[in-house]
């Protein structure tokens, strides 16, 4: 599967962060659609299916990203979802989906901490996608 055929949904309420990440990923050959809230993302996926979703945890409400992950997982059980969050830096709370039972409530394939390097982000995106 070529990068040009990969439609990434990136959901984050930080406009500056979204603009930066969109530019970087598009320069790397990905197609990126952005949403600024859980509701905007849910409306976007009502009409199409992204290849992968990158979701911030804390948006309008502190648990919006987790709620969105739950809804996306219900609609598309095999959709790769990466949480990309600054939650640990902002709150001191951290979690690891690899811990026992962690993935069952987080509903994400991985949790990445902001700031994130392009190489790490690209590696995680490609790791989560089916080879094709």
* pLDDT of the residue at 106: 65
Number of domains in the chain: 1
Give the domain range for residue 42.
3-128
* pLDDT of the residue at 108: 84
- Mean pLDDT of all residues in the chain? 84
The structure tokens 């392009």 sit at 118
Report the CATH number at residue 15. Answer: 3.40.50.2300
Identify the band that residue 100 occupies on the pLDDT scale cut at 50, 70 and 90. very low
Residue 23: other Cβ atoms inside 10 A: 11
């Amino acid at each position: 599967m070529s990068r040009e055929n990969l439609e990434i949904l990136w959901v984050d309420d930080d406009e500056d962060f979204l603009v930066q990440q969109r530019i970087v990923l598009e320069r790397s050959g990905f197609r990126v659609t952005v949403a600024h809230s859980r509701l905007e993302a849910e409306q976007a996926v009502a009409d199409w299916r992204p290849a992968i979703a990158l979701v911030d945890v804390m948006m309008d409400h502190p648990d919006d990203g987790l709620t969105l992950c739950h809804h996306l997982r219900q609609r598309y059980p095999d959709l790769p979802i990466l949480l990309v969050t600054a939650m640990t830096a902002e709150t001191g709370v951290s979690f690891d989906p690899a811990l026992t039972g962690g993935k069952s409530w987080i509903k994400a394939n991985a949790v990445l901490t902001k700031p994130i390097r392009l190489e790490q982000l690209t590696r995680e995106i490609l790791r989560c996608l089916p080879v094709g």
